[in-house]
Each structure stands twice: as structure tokens, then as C-alpha cells.
Amino acid sequence: MRRPPYSIHHVAILMLVLLISSAMVTVARAQSQEPKPVLPATPVGESDSAATGVSGSSWHGPTWGVSVSWDPALWTVEGEFIDVGYEGVQIGTPISTVYLETYNRFDGDAGACFADAERELGEREGISEVVPLTGRSMPVPEDVRGVAEIFGITATLPDGTVYRGVEYVECRTVVPGEAALEITWQTVTGGFDEDLPLVEALLATVSIPDPSAAAPTAPVATPIA
């Protein structure tokens, strides 16, 4: 949830990709060779653990079991962050970045998680405007998603360049009274409609284990009187 400030390099590459994509409409998305920089997401704390939840084209959180899978022809793993009380994965396309982060915070309350994410969004370095956007399609169906909103972002970069982007933020309860999941999708404004179908397909694979579905206990033998 501690999104980094937008970097000049990041914005420049995203805008370049959009221009190339618009000019070459006959070229398939999978053929794009434009690189996308890894965003330095900041977890709750750095960990020396070698544990990983990535296996092939899927990720399974080792503590709370939140999972997601993706098409490796479209998505690339950009980072994984695991520590006590926190675990998350960062994956991206050439013009989008998606974070899935599970926290042992907020007592598992999705509303509290979302309120904190919205507050943090407005406090990022360089941000001058955060506006809820209406009329845009949510990437997660209403009967599935938690507390969610789409925001329009305006930021001024250190060189004076103005960045405009779109950010989808959603929080779900993972374990009541314990953990919450925050989902974030970041893209430049012109990339929203282009990557929306990809993000819809990606987030449709997100799975949260049912905490009430505990393993059945073995029957206790009754001693013979």
C-alpha cells in the first residue's frame, strides 16, 4: 500500500508505449518489445526470507493463501515482497502495474483498509490532485469486489512534467479480525481502456480461502466401558 512517487523514467516509458501503440494499431499487443521499469514498491519491512509464492504463472501467498494466476504472454512478475505481517506480488504489462498485498492490519476490515489507501494516495510526493472517477467500468464485478474506487491522478514530476494517470484501489477482507487484501492497478490515463480487459481477466483469478472452511477433525474414539 506504500506506493512510490511516480518517476520520470516510468512516466516517459509509459507515454512512449502509448504513442507507439496508438500509431501501430495493426500490431498485436504481444509483439510489443517496449520495456517497463520495475516500480520500487515498499513493503512493511525488508525480509531476509527466501520464501516465495511464485510458481510458474501463478502466485500463492504463503501465510494467508491469497492467490492469483496470469497469462505469461501478457503479464510479467515485477516483484514479490514477503515479511512478517505482509505479503504481496507486483505484476505488469507494458502499460500497467497491478499489486496484490495482504496485510495483518485493519483487523481485516475492508473499509478501514480502503480509507487508509485513499489517504495515502493523496499524500504521495508530487501529487496535486486525486479525483474519484465515475462512468468508468470497474475491473471486478460488483458481486465479487470489496470496497473499491477508481481515481484520476495528477502529479508534477521533479522536472516539471505533469503526469496524469488512473488508479483502481480495492480492499477485501481476508480473515475477519486479522488480515485484509489491497488490490491496486496503476496505468496512465490513456492506457485504462486498452488494458481493462487484461486486468479484468487477471483479477477474475484472485482467490481468497474461506477461513471457515477448516479441515475436518478426526473422530474421537469412545473407550469401551
Cell numbers describing residue 119: 489517504
Residues 6+ positions from 79 with CB-CB distance below 8 Å: 38, 39, 41, 89, 90
Q: Quick check: helix, strand or coil at residue 138?
A: coil
Measured CA to CA, the distance from residue 6 to residue 96 in angstroms comes to: 13
Going residue by residue through the chain, which has 225 residues, state the pLDDT in tens, using 9 for 90 and above: 455 444 433 444 444 343 333 332 322 222 222 333 343 444 433 434 457 899 999 999 999 999 999 999 999 999 999 989 999 999 999 999 999 999 999 999 999 999 999 999 988 888 999 999 998 999 999 999 999 999 999 998 888 889 899 999 999 999 999 999 999 999 999 999 999 999 999 999 999 998 776 444 444 444 554
Q: Considering the entire predicted model, what is its pTM?
A: 0.76
State the greatest distance between any 2 C-alpha atoms of the chain, in Å, as a whole number: 85
- Residue-wise DSSP of 186-225: EEEGGGHHHHHHHHHHHHTT-B---TT-PPPPPPPPPPP-
Residues 6+ positions from 186 with CB-CB distance below 8 Å: 3, 39, 96, 97, 98, 99, 165, 166, 167
Residue range 127-179, pLDDT digits in tens: 999 999 998 999 999 999 999 999 999 998 888 889 899 999 999 999 999 99
Measured CA to CA, the distance from residue 75 to residue 52 in angstroms comes to: 18
Contact between residue 15 and residue 36 where contact means Cβ atoms under 8 Å apart: no
Quote the pLDDT of residue 216.
43
Looking at residue 6, the DSSP 8-state letter turns out to be: P
